[in-house]
Amino acid sequence: MTIEPRFRGLLVLGVVVLLLPFALPNSFYYDVAIRIAINATIAIGMNLLIGYTGQISLGHAGFLGLGAYGSGILTARFGWPSMLALPVTAIGTGLLAYLVARPILRLKRHYLAIATLGFGIIINIVIGNEAAYTGGPDGMAVASLSLFGVEVTGERVWYGLAAGVLVFVAWMMVNLVNAPMGRALQAIHGSEIAARVAGIDVAGLKVRVVVFSAVLASVMGGLGAHYSGFISPASSDFMHSIELVTMVVVGGMASVYGSIVGAAILTVLPQVLGRFEGWETMVFGLILTLSLMFMPRGIVPTLRLRLVRSEA
Amino acid sequence: MTSLLDIQHLSISFGGVKAVQDVSFGIDKGHIHAVIGPNGAGKTTLLNLITGIYVPTQGEIWLDGEKVAGKAPEALALRGLSRTFQNLRVCMNMSAIENVMIGAHLQLDSGLFAGLIPSKEARTRDRKCRYEAAALMRLVGLESHIRCHASQMSYGALKRLEIARALAARPQVLLLDEPAAGLNRTETAEIDEVIRQVAELGVTIVLVEHNMKLVMNISDRVLVLDHGRKLAEGTAKEVQSNGEVICAYLGQQHEDDPTS
Amino acid sequence: MFVELLQFLLSGVTIGSIYALVALGFSIVFNASGVINFAQGEFVMLGGVAAVTLVEAGVSLPFAVMLAVAIAGVVGLLVEKLAIEPAKDADEVTLIIITIGASLTIRGMVQVLFGKGAHVLPSFGGDKPLRVLGATILPQSLWVLGTTLSVVLMLAGFFGKTLLGKAMLATSFNKLAAQLVGINANFVLFLAFGLSAVLGALGGVIIAPITYTSYDVGLMLGLKGFIAGTLGGLGSGYGATVGGLLLGVLEALTAGYVSSAYKDALPFVLVLFILFFFPRGLFGASLTERV
């Protein structure tokens, strides 16, 4: 396992990201690309928790919603500059994640699933109810992003920002996964007791991974909010949490590039399904069920395995 | 007492079951101490107590002069304790060599942020760790498995892999919980050879085993447990001829199993 | 004051009975396989929607009810055969997503076939409210309570006295041991899905006259039933039942005395609270992991 293969993938990603704008004919495609980049970054963070560390989170959209509304409210209602609102919201989300993580992570399997699910739904309900701050079920408008006093507008600029963040996070993640820490996380997934006996602080590490993925979701949620100019409680609901988990699972667990592929598919799919008036839910459900039945490890790991087998 | 590991009046009860009662013994550095006894005698429970998986209801454990009873397994790993498991706890989602590298985790620079943006030294250290892991795999006879994934390996091979992982930690004390459990004749002989090799390295070993031949040939001292209590302790020869020990294993004298 | 409390209790126990039926369904499947079937709520929805459709097509009420429950049962069996069995060895997270995919497929199909509208099923025993100690109760509520009680008793008899029921229980305690004595664990799982679908659909049918039914009621009902089961401990039938009733009552009390807007948050706050202190539910046994 030399360094080469690891950076090969990042190189491909970088090239794709750089060349893609030349293939995008109009604003609509840029919009999709930006959304893919944002979702992919969130998915990569979630994959660290779900794929590598082997935990379940069915409420991650809650962190995303907190990030979106936190930054949105601070800028719109309190007049904060977005450069301050985003990080402060991220820190707040991280703190909340830290507080709930330790007790929740003591739970296993479906109890963990229901606890994370509950967490996400509670946040969703609070956002929907506190209309005075959040605008309630109808949502609220969000100011545009301004970095260092300069307003960030225009699809190309946003694309550069979103894609840049994606490549940066992917690079960090690839490093982490190949470091002792990456092995430690996978060991937690493989056998917690073996990890503990080897000296790994399992409980502490699980918490840190949750906080990391929560902060990432929060930051990307905030960026997404400033990009769209509008947010609604739907961004933090159960279905959105499921979509995020699906990106990870369908793309490939324990695979950084898998998360990017999964995010791309799940972001593009609703656009494609829009043609099937009224059939979207059913087709989505079918695609979900069937793809996981035939490729339980996800797309990228399955393809990788087939490639290895054919070379052998 | 110059014992490296000193157990004093250790006891634990689960509900009404007294799994370990008032067990005391000491292990000197570089020695091999076997723990034997019929099934259900409390051998694994004793090991779990020493390695921090259970908290004793009574008694104390001294490791290198420090009180460690009740400390978590992670803390004990820091103090040089390493173990294998009776029913195999291997990370089947990782490759063989990665499993061994996990054992060396504490020796590598880690931390979430250090991993995100690595340094050259960290990468060199990681490469060195990989070479050492490969060497350990050769030591336990897994040379042909160095490029394998854990999910492809046989039960016997995985048992040896666990020993390699435990050794990767460069432990002060190595605790082996029935390393030969579930292995056939050939595999048992292979693993006995591995344990011999490890002993030759001078590692202090606590060995829970049923294979009497190995125990008698290799141990410096033997501790016999029965129903959670210490039945006898001494050299292999002393224990072998102890009447109570024979009784505990074989029942009444005239019901001897002639093949044992 | 008392009358108000009684009113809340009655409505709480009514909806709680449905949660109990859903929770029992979860419990049965979980016991047979360790799988959390997120499609459970959709069986409830199927029961109600199918019954409504049949009645609107001219089928008599009792017949429509039985047919609807049977249809849901068949769907449950299909889900097990087509989605669960092929994926037996998959990761836990993957299995959860597969059942969610199944639930979306069912919901989507109903949306296509029956549209998004809300429908009401005619009550079983008339619409004239009865007065009990000053509080009003719909005759349908009595049907709900009565049916649920009968079902719980029948299940207790089934699992306790019949060979098939005992075989299912044995599988839940130790699958390998059950297989070794000749029990076909796959068949047990197959039946478990069918049974849980029937239970869910029954709940959907008996509550449909009181609350409206439409293609999307399954999600929340399923989640709340799951929580009710977790509260009582998924390993125990009594736990599931008590959990369901308890949840229903607490929900009604919250809606009545605290805030209607936050009544939907209660189950989730409750489950978080309970799980922090009782990681195995109120009635679930605590397990120590053998190392």
Among the residue ranges A48-57, B131-140, C157-166, the one predicted with the least confidence is C157-166
B111 or C214: which carries more pLDDT confidence? C214
Within-domain flag for C283: no
Contact criterion met (CB < 8 Å) for B110 and A179 = yes
Contact C266, C250 (CB under 8 A): yes
Contacts of C290 in chain B (CB under 8 A): 87
- Find the farthest-apart pair of alpha carbons in chain A and give their distance in angstroms, rounded: 63
C291 shares contact with chain B (CB less than 8 Å): yes
A278 or C289: which carries more pLDDT confidence? A278
Read off the CATH number of the domain in which C84 is found. 1.10.3470
Average pLDDT value for residue range A262-267: 93
Q: Does B1 score more than 60 pLDDT?
A: no
CA-wise closest residue to C90 among A297, B167, A198: A297
Give me the residue from A3, A187, A200 closest to B74, CB to CB.
A200
In A130-169, the residues whose Cβ lies within 8 Å of chain C are none
Contact criterion met (CB < 8 Å) for C288 and B89 = no
A194–chain B nearest CA distance, Å: 6
Contact criterion met (CB < 8 Å) for C230 and A107 = no
Phi-psi region of C126 (alpha: psi -120 to 50; beta: other; left: phi over 0): left
Contacts of B102 in chain A (CB under 8 A): 183-184, 187, 194-195, 198, 200
Q: Does B235 score more than 70 pLDDT?
A: yes
B84–chain A nearest CA distance, Å: 8
Total domain count, chain C: 1
Q: Does B257 score more than 70 pLDDT?
A: no
Contacts of A283 in chain C (CB under 8 A): 108
pLDDT band at B251 (very low <50, low <70, confident <90, very high): low
* Interface chains of chain A (3 or more CB pairs under 8 Å): B, C
Contact B100, B63 (CB under 8 A): no
Phi-psi region of A291 (alpha: psi -120 to 50; beta: other; left: phi over 0): alpha
Contacts of B53 in chain C (CB under 8 A): 291
Rounded to the nearest integer, the mean pLDDT of chain A is: 89
pLDDT band at C234 (very low <50, low <70, confident <90, very high): confident
Predicted pLDDT of residue B252: 47
Contacts of B89 in chain C (CB under 8 A): 291
Q: Does C284 score more than 90 pLDDT?
A: no
Dist. CA A177–CA B126, nearest whole Å: 13
Predicted pLDDT of residue B255: 43
The size of chain B, in residues, is 260
Dist. CA B140–CA A81, nearest whole Å: 61
CATH numbers and ranges of domains, chain B:
1-80+171-180+202-260 (3.40.50.300), 84-170 (3.40.50.300)
Contact criterion met (CB < 8 Å) for B102 and A198 = yes
Contact criterion met (CB < 8 Å) for C272 and A110 = no
Rounded to the nearest integer, the mean pLDDT of chain C is: 85
Chain segment A178-231, per-residue pLDDT in tens? 889 999 999 999 999 999 999 999 999 999 999 999 999 999 999 999 999 899
Within-domain flag for C255: yes
Paired sense of beta strands B204-208 and B173-177, if any: parallel
Chain segment A108-134, per-residue pLDDT in tens? 777 888 889 999 999 999 999 888 888
Q: Does C88 score more than 60 pLDDT?
A: yes
The partner residues of B7 in beta bridges, in order of sequence, read: B25, B61
Chain segment A46-84, per-residue pLDDT in tens? 999 999 998 989 999 999 999 999 999 998 888 888 889
Q: Which residues, including other chains, have CB under 8 Å from residue C259's CB and lie 6 or more apart?
A: none
Contact B37, B230 (CB under 8 A): no
Give me the residue from A175, A191, A199 closest to B89, CB to CB.
A191
Contacts of C279 in chain A (CB under 8 A): 106-108, 111
Dist. CA C62–CA A12, nearest whole Å: 64
Q: Which domain holds residue C257?
A: 2-277
Contact C267, C251 (CB under 8 A): yes
Dist. CA B22–CA B11, nearest whole Å: 5
Among the residue ranges A31-35, A296-300, C102-106, the one predicted with the least confidence is A296-300
Paired sense of beta strands C135-137 and C130-132, if any: antiparallel
Predicted pLDDT of residue C179: 82
Q: Which residue has the tokens 């000749």?
A: C182
Contacts of A210 in chain B (CB under 8 A): none
Which SS3 state, helix, strand or coil, does residue B141 take?
coil
Contacts of B85 in chain C (CB under 8 A): 291
Predicted pLDDT of residue B256: 47
Dist. CA A234–CA B41, nearest whole Å: 58
* Interface chains of chain B (3 or more CB pairs under 8 Å): A, C
Contact B242, B34 (CB under 8 A): no
Average pLDDT value for residue range B130-141: 94
C228 shares contact with chain A (CB less than 8 Å): no
| pTM: predicted TM-score of the whole model, two decimal places | 0.88
Q: Using CA coordinates, name the residue in chain C closest to B85.
A: C291
Contact criterion met (CB < 8 Å) for C291 and B53 = yes
Within-domain flag for C286: no
Chain segment B171-205, per-residue pLDDT in tens? 999 999 999 888 888 888 888 888 888 888 888 99
**In this complex, how many residue pairs, one in chain A and one in chain B, have their CB atoms less than 8 Å apart?**
105
C130 or A193: which carries more pLDDT confidence? A193
Which SS3 state, helix, strand or coil, does residue B223 take?
strand
Q: Does C268 score more than 50 pLDDT?
A: yes
pLDDT above 90: percentage of residues in chain A: 51
Contact criterion met (CB < 8 Å) for A196 and B82 = no
B217 or B152: which carries more pLDDT confidence? B152
Contacts of A196 in chain B (CB under 8 A): 72-74, 77
In B68-97, the residues whose Cβ lies within 8 Å of chain C are 85-87, 89
Contact C199, C70 (CB under 8 A): no
Dist. CA C118–CA C127, nearest whole Å: 19
- Find the farthest-apart pair of alpha carbons in chain B and give their distance in angstroms, rounded: 70
**Count of CB atoms situated within 10 Å of the CB of C166:** 14
Predicted pLDDT of residue A136: 83
Predicted pLDDT of residue A1: 43
Phi, psi of B95 (to 5 degrees): -75, 165
- The residues of B whose Cβ lies within 8 A of any Cβ of A are 51, 53, 72-74, 77-78, 82-83, 85, 89-94, 98, 101-103, 105-106, 108-112, 114-118, 122-123, 126, 129-130, 165, 169
Three-state secondary structure readout of A31-67:
HHHHHHHHHHHHHHHHHHHHHHCCCCCCCCHHHHHHH
Q: Using CA coordinates, name the residue in chain A closest to C84.
A: A293
Element (H, E) at B222: strand B221-226
Contact A251, A258 (CB under 8 A): yes
Give me the residue from C109, C269, C276 closest to A103, CB to CB.
C276
Give exposure, B151-181, as e/b (b: 16+ Cβ within 10 Å).
Answer: eebeebbbbbbbbbbbbbbebbbbbbbbbbb
Contact criterion met (CB < 8 Å) for B91 and A181 = no
